[in-house]
Amino acid sequence: MARPVILTIDDDADVLSAIERDLRQRYNQTYRILRAESGSGALNILRRLRQRNDPVALFLVDYRMPHMNGIQTLNEAMKLYPDAKRVLLTAYADTEAAIEAINIVQLHHYLLKPWDPPEEQLYPVLDDLLNEWSSRHKPSFEGVRVLGTRWSPQSYEMRDFLARNQVPFQWMDADAAERDQDVGRLVQSLGSNELKLPLIFFPDGDRLEQPGWEKVATKLGLRLHADLEFYDVAIVGGGPAGLAAAVYGASEGLKTLIVERQAPGGQAGLSSRIENYLGFPAGLRGSDLTMRAVTQARRFGVEIVSPQEASGIRVDGPYRYLRFKDGTELSCHALILATGVEWRTLDIPGIDKLQGAGVYYGAGATEAISCRGEDVYIVGGANSAGQAAMFFSQHARRVVMLVRAPSLGASMSQYLVDQIQKTENIQVEYRSRVSAVEGEDRLRAITIACDASGEEQTVPASSLFIFIGAEPCTAWVASLLERDQRGFLLTGPDLMRDGKRPKGWQLDRDPGLLETNIPGIFAVGDVRHGSIKRVASSVGEGSVAIQFVHQYLSKV
Quick: pLDDT tens for 84-138: 999 999 887 677 777 888 888 899 999 988 899 999 999 999 999 999 999 999 8
Q: Which residues in 312-333 are b (16+ Cβ under 10 Å) and which e? A: ebeeeeeebebebeeeeebbbb
pLDDT tens, position by position, 410-455: 889 999 999 999 999 999 999 999 999 999 999 999 999 999 899 9
- Count the helices and strands in the chain (H runs, E runs): 14, 26
Measured CA to CA, the distance from residue 43 to residue 59 in angstroms comes to 11
Beta-strand relationship, 470-472 and 341-343:
antiparallel
Mean pLDDT of 501-506: 91
Other CB atoms within a 10 A radius of the CB of residue 291 amount to 15
Average pLDDT, the chain: 93
Amino acid at 345: T
pLDDT for 100 equals 83
Instruction: Give the Cα-Cα-Cα angle 370, 372, 375 (nearest 5 degrees).
Output: 105
Other CB atoms within a 10 A radius of the CB of residue 532 amount to 12
pLDDT tens, position by position, 270-290: 787 888 888 988 888 888 999
Mean pLDDT of 349-365: 90
pLDDT for 97 equals 79
**Measured torsion, CA atoms of residues 390, 345, 367, 48, in degrees rounded to the nearest 10:** 160
Amino acid at 309: E
pLDDT for 498 equals 86
Q: How far is CA 54 from the centre of its chain?
A: 22
- Residue 9 backbone phi and psi in degrees, to 5: -135, 125
User: Taking the complete model, does pTM exceed 0.85, yes or no?
Assistant: yes
Mean pLDDT of 337-351: 94
- For residue 532, the 8-state DSSP code is -
pLDDT for 7 equals 98
CA distance from start to end of the chain: 54
- Cα→Cα distances 69→100, 104, 137, Å: 13, 13, 28
Residue 529 forms beta bridges with which residues? none
pLDDT for 546 equals 97
- Three-state DSSP class for residue 173: strand
pLDDT-derived band at 556 (thresholds 50, 70, 90) equals: confident
**Measured torsion, CA atoms of residues 261, 265, 267, 269, in degrees rounded to the nearest 10:** -140
Least confident range of 5-14, 160-169, 373-382: 160-169
Query: What 3 state SS string does 301-359 have?
Result: CCEEECCCCEEEEEEECCEEEEEECCCCEEEEEEEEECCCEEECCCCCCCCHHHECCCE
pLDDT-derived band at 361 (thresholds 50, 70, 90) equals: very high
Q: Treating both helix axes as pointing N-terminal to C-terminal, what angle do 286-299 and 240-251 enclose, rounded to 10 degrees?
A: 20
Domains with residue ranges and CATH for the chain: 5-136 (3.40.50.2300), 144-220 (3.40.30.10), 230-342+470-553 (3.50.50.60), 352-466 (3.50.50.60)
Say what percent of the chain tops pLDDT 90: 81
- Cα→Cα distances 548→116, 253, 301, Å: 81, 15, 21
Measured CA to CA, the distance from residue 36 to residue 59 in angstroms comes to 11
pLDDT for 276 equals 85
pLDDT tens, position by position, 177-188: 889 999 999 999
pLDDT-derived band at 379 (thresholds 50, 70, 90) equals: very high
